[in-house]
Amino acid sequence: VFYYEAIERSTLSTVLSTLYTLVLPLISVFVLYNLIGSDGIWLGFPVACIISMIIIIIVVKVIQKREPKYSGLFFIEKDLVHKTKNFVLTDNDLNARKECLDHLKNLNADDEFCDNANKIFDVIFDTNPHGTYVEVLVIDYKDSIHVDIKYDGEKENLEHLKHKFPEDLLKYAEVLGFNTIEYEMDKS
């Protein structure tokens, strides 16, 4: 549910957030309370969650029929599935970081881009507690390479990155408690 509340389809995200957090719980608690008493209050929340999941599946299927370029429940474009690679980095697993950087080099990313990606990882691991997990999604578009980095570190850590890199180099966001960084290189 949280994935669909954070996707870039703002209208859909808003509708799902409102349904999941307010409308469906209120309706299900009210109806079940009137049907079975106080136990209905506690049953209303899981029922609302299940109904939300069903609504999400139906909405995704409708969108996939209207826009056949998507594959699966997560709105992944079909032609990007084989061009997308996911890495999970930790501060003590240098092999995963090396594998990620090697993948960038295989995509013909220039040395500066790879060095900056490595510096981003350094800042994240140096300013967060031991055991922080960093999820890196590398997407090879026709005209650019995207490195999307998500981690559950402290919000203040984004400030360290902002001071370390030029202002327009990275895009930052905090979504649902995760710090998100987008780093992009044009292939032209």
CB atoms within 10 A of CB 180: 17
Number of domains in the chain: 2
- Assign 141 to helix, strand or coil: coil
- Which whole number is the average pLDDT over 71-78? 76
- Assign 11 to helix, strand or coil: helix
The last residue of a domain, from among 71, 94, 126: 71
Segment holding 148, helix H or strand E? strand 144-151
Structure confidence by residue, pLDDT tens digits, 3-59: 665 566 778 888 888 999 899 999 999 999 999 999 999 999 999 999 999 998 998
The residue range of the domain holding 126 is 79-186
55 and 87 belong to one structural domain: no
The last residue of a domain, from among 28, 43, 71: 71
- Assign 187 to helix, strand or coil: coil
Structure confidence by residue, pLDDT tens digits, 119-133: 989 888 888 888 888
Question: Is residue 132 within 8 Å of residue 152, measured between CB atoms?
Answer: yes
61 and 86 belong to one structural domain: no
* Structure-block tokens of residue 79: 């032609």
86 and 173 belong to one structural domain: yes
The last residue of a domain, from among 71, 102, 125: 71
Q: How far is CA 169 from CA 2, 24, 113, 129, in A?
A: 28, 41, 10, 25
pLDDT given at position 118:
92
pLDDT given at position 114:
93
38 and 106 belong to one structural domain: no
% pLDDT > 90, the chain: 34
136 and 169 belong to one structural domain: yes
